[in-house]
């Protein structure tokens, strides 16, 4: 298979991240065939120059390289292996899974789609919609060497760093979950501590200045809290349910490997509380509101 940059691709999943990736790739001149269960999201992509298709299979009929960026394991398996899935496509050569779904689901997709002679690349990304917009996504790749080069070329307009994690689909999923688990741990701790400091009388902005000049600096203190919590916009870019899904998937992955996750098991209870209280559709930075309510302060 050739390794040249992509002229025509397919893309399935036009959520918060997928829609921005598609927008940026369209701006770079890529022809993109799209599908999504959300008709409004499809129409927005069409207004930017995309070509709408009626199903994942139709996308895979039209494009040699197809990406999926989906919100759940069930959605990823259905799009890959369902009766209208990409494995039924007549034009597809390479299928790349950008979603965070865990090792076992990725291996199931790789085996099932691979039986149709299609190369499958495990390709989760980190950085969210803001990273895609700024062309700074971290791209993690595992699978066939030649197909990985094609995927890396396709994602060049939105990526800042690309990492080759080997030939076995599933390894990139483990790496993405490892990244997300650390990020969620830092985020949860940062929310708790910012509320504590605010209640004690510290100025939140000054707290962030000190933390970001010191050993506690992390993505929550340097970006999430100053951009979405302090101004009270709570619009960093991903739903709380997505963070909860990734945390749950990471704990499940650890359990399957026999690796302890004592601290993150506690964090999971907090995120589960937020989900149980109907916050799933809110931006994940809104998690801090629960701490604020319990402490009787707002981090402004």
Q: Are residues 32 and 73 in the same domain?
A: yes
Domain housing 214? 174-295
Predicted pLDDT at 3: 37
Confidence of residue 2 (pLDDT cuts 50, 70, 90): very low
Average pLDDT, the chain: 96
Segment 3-40, tens digit of pLDDT:
345 899 999 999 999 999 999 999 999 999 999 999 99
| Number of Cβ within a 10 Å radius of residue 227 | 15
Any domain includes 12: yes
Tokens 């399935």 correspond to what residue? 12
* Listed residues 121, 147, 167: the one ending a domain: 167
Across residues 47-73, what is the average pLDDT? 97
The two tokens of residue 188 are 């949860």
Tens-place pLDDT, residues 88-136: 999 999 999 999 999 999 999 999 999 999 999 999 999 999 999 999 9
- 121 plus 77 within the same structural domain: yes
Same domain, 16 and 144: yes
Same domain, 45 and 68: yes
Pairing of strands 31-35, 137-141: unpaired
Q: Identify whether 300 is part of a domain.
A: no
Q: Are residues 221 and 147 in the same domain?
A: no
Judge whether 198 and 297 are in contact, CB under 8 Å.
yes
- Which CATH number goes with the domain that contains 243? 1.10.1040.10
CB atoms under 10 Å from CB of 277, counted, come to 9
Q: How many domains does the chain have?
A: 2
Given this model, what pLDDT does residue 52 score? 98
132-189 pLDDT, tens digit per residue, is 999 999 999 999 999 999 999 999 999 999 999 999 999 999 999 999 999 999 999 9
């Amino acid at each position: 298979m050739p390794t040249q940059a992509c002229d025509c691709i397919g893309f399935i999943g036009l959520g918060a991240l997928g829609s921005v990736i598609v927008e940026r790739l369209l701006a770079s001149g890529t022809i993109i065939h799209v599908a999504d269960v959300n008709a409004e999201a499809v129409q927005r992509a069409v207004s930017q120059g995309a070509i709408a298709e009626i199903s994942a299979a139709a996308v895979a009929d039209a494009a040699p390289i197809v990406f999926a960026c989906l919100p759940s394991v069930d959605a990823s398996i259905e799009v890959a292996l369902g009766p209208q899935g990409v494995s039924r496509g007549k034009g597809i050569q390479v299928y790349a899974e950008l979603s965070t779904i865990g090792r076992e689901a990725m291996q199931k997709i790789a085996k099932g789609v691979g039986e149709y002679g299609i190369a499958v690349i495990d390709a989760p990304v980190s950085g969210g919609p803001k990273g895609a917009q700024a062309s700074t996504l971290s791209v993690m790749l595992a699978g066939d060497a030649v197909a990985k080069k094609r995927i890396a070329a396709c994602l060049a307009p939105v990526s800042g760093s690309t990492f080759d994690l080997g030939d076995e689909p599933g390894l990139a999923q483990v790496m993405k979950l490892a990244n997300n688990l650390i990020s969620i741990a830092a985020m949860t701790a940062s929310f708790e501590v910012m509320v504590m400091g605010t209640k004690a009388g510290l100025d939140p902005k000054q707290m962030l200045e000190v933390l970001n000049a010191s050993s506690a600096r992390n993505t929550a203190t340097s970006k999430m809290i100053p951009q979405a919590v302090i101004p009270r916009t709570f619009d960093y870019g991903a739903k709380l349910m997505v963070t909860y899904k990734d945390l749950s998937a990471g704990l499940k992955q650890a359990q399957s490997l026999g690796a302890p996750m004592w601290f993150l098991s506690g964090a999971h209870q907090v995120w589960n509380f937020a989900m149980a209280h109907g916050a799933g559709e809110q931006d994940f930075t809104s998690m801090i509101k629960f701490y604020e309510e319990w402490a009787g302060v707002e981090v402004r």
